[in-house]
Structure 1
Amino acid sequence: MTDLLPTTPYRGTRDLLPQQMSVRQQFFHPLFEVIESYGFGRYDGPILEPAEIYEAKSGEEIANQQLYALTDRGGRRLALRPEMTPSAARMIARNLGSLQLPVRWYSHVICHRYERPQRGRLREHWQINVDIFGSDSVNSEIELFELIHDMMGALGATRDMWALRVGDRVLLESILRDIVKVPGDRLAEVSSLVDRWEKYPREKLAEDAEKLSLTSAQFDLLAETLGSGDEVLRAVPAEVAERSHVVRLLNSEARELVTFDPFIVRGLQYYTGTVFEVFDLHPENRRALFGGGRYADLAGLFTRQQVPGIGFAVGDVTLQDFLETHGLLPAPRPQADAVVIPLGESLTAEARRMAGVLRRAGVRTTTPLEPRKLSKELSAADHLGARVAVVVAEDEWRREAVLVKNLATREQHEVPVAELADRVTAVLASPAP
């Protein structure tokens, strides 16, 4: 006797049953509609990419700790994509000759990262990626922030549930270099310390700062400066402020879209300016939901032509946690709207014909594959979430009619075949009791 194979998936990944898939589709699809209303076109790309594109631009954490890498039979080093932006940049570079910049692109793809599975993080997840390539205007930031507000609204979220926090790596580098006097060779490491600021107690941060050769006075000055909010903007040199998209944004009518937060850093190496994160404000799920930023020339890995860009990615794991925490998670969509049940094998073909009529009318309809008692078929219909059962019986069929049963109210009526589609769609359109 052979051993049975495991029935559970690889740790950190998921099996999704039809009802679970239905829930995810219901909260993702309104987002697609919002994104496309802004004129973004959907694209896709391969799940396998050369490992070098992530090692060059995605940052040390992804490249050295989270990358699922392999070597194929031709000796090429490949990786399961941990994110989509480098692939999008490669595709932009490859098609520059035929594209009219700027372009607005979005995708919905599966990504893999080797990290510790926990609430909000799995090793496999689906995410929406939204990017604008080819524009260095602050209007790109404003458009994406308006889009984020509309996306959150489409999910049913109100402004008191979440916050859009915006920082700027240009400003942060100036704060570290010009105010705190961090040496140039320590800027990246101290930026990483700032990125961890809200995750660790002050004692741990001070200990890490000391390891980076920051004095206690420098650490205190860093904490005071970053904690001053908008006041820090007055402390940076004027020429730095003039280069900052965030400063321009804060001085515009779009100021109300965001909360300025100099602690926002983002871990990906390719971000060069504006960085932002959407935070859940609920005390039981106070965490970043998703984020993004501006990259001056990510496509420079693949082309000599400079192509600036800005974008963000929304993952399904953190999004579902947010919706569940706030009571916004949609109910599973029924697997079928109606069932057509023949009373006897001799009426199977007629039942299939009636099912076809309903499907052409836009009603999701199923029929039995094997003969069973009517009571069992009605029970199965309830399990599927169907609201209507159409019974094809001999007596009614001879009168060119069928029985239509409302499974919610248990009311049943004889309906002429010619009126079947109209009667069923009317029942489905009525409010459920």
Structure 2
Amino acid sequence: MKQTWRWFGPKDLVSIDDTRQAGVTGIVSSLHHVATGAVWSPDEIAARQSDIATMKDGSPSGIAWDVVESLPVSEDIKKQTGQWRDHIEAYKQSLHNLADAGLSVICYNFMPVLDWTRTDLAWARPSGATCMRFDLVDFAAFDLHVLKRDGAADDFDDALRDEATARFEAMSEAHREDLAKNVVFGLPGAAESFTLDDVRRHVAEYSAIDEDRLRRHLIDFLEEVAPVAQARGLRLCCHPDDPPVPLLGLPRIMSTEAQYRKVMQAVDLPANGITLCSGSLGARSDNDLPGMMERLGGRVHFLHLRNVKRESDALFGSFFEDEHLEGDTDMVALIAAALNEEDKRRAQGRDDWSIPFRPDHGQDILDDLHRKAQPGYPAIGRLKGLAELRGVIAGLQHGRPQT
């Protein structure tokens, strides 16, 4: 399992020098400053590769850009409106340019409007650490009383609506503003973020798009781009919905094993694959992460390893980002399944037998609390998680035949 680290570019407060000290062997990055729908030019790709290859003193870092996360899919493509055909052609050209530069793993997502959604970006834990949290009552308060979305009341039962209303009425104005900012925080690292009016407009534009139609749009997209990826030796890997349930009345199509299976079967090419994120999928109680790795592992091209703690027994409710070996996902069993998949790939002679993973998210601890890096991406909290994951891998590999 190749150890990688997400880096948001030269403005990231966790530097390439820091990643060297973490001991990772590859970098996960993106051209966040390039507008969604535009072509990633060879010069821009080369510049990011150079940034990653160089330490602050100008010496070689010895690490390279291994995984693209993300090559974003535009809202026009997801809705099949506006310039969606032009954006698909631009996406294809970007794939060609990435392949020419030697990159092979391309992560993306197909979540409508918002990427990951949290209500608190720095929730205090008893240890003194902070973490990201999704509070269902706070989210309902946002939907009902801040966004004031048409039809929002129909998505929550009477008890939750009453609790959300009471919670909202007790909030200070500053708390209400913080909640709105957190929910519409946007794509991690992206130059763009949404206003409330932007969210209202986008949500309204999805009013005629249900789960089946959105899935059809994803399949249409993949039927165009996956053959390009296959021909160029690229591996596309779709990130799951986060959280893995419908929000804001928007459809979700990559939240369960059954949903992933439909898309893998519809475009049945090895290049059409999965980013298995244990935190995103783990927020839903009916997802079996080790089982998904066992059953879908041949199409898993990238792993995000993190853990969440669900705060109720409901299919979906509040949750928080727990420590990597805590929470509700059996991380040891998941890693064991990933190592078994690597064994299968070696036996099959696959050149992609080593599955890249990164320690996803992490609690802010120690100096993280003062550094204020990208929410969810602290230096020390991720390093702690990576060390724990390394320990699990080393233990599971001890005495295991290596080829």
User: For the superposition of Structure 1 and Structure 2, which TM-score range results when normalised by the shorter chain?
Assistant: under 0.3
Q: Which has the higher strand share?
A: 1
Larger Rg: 1
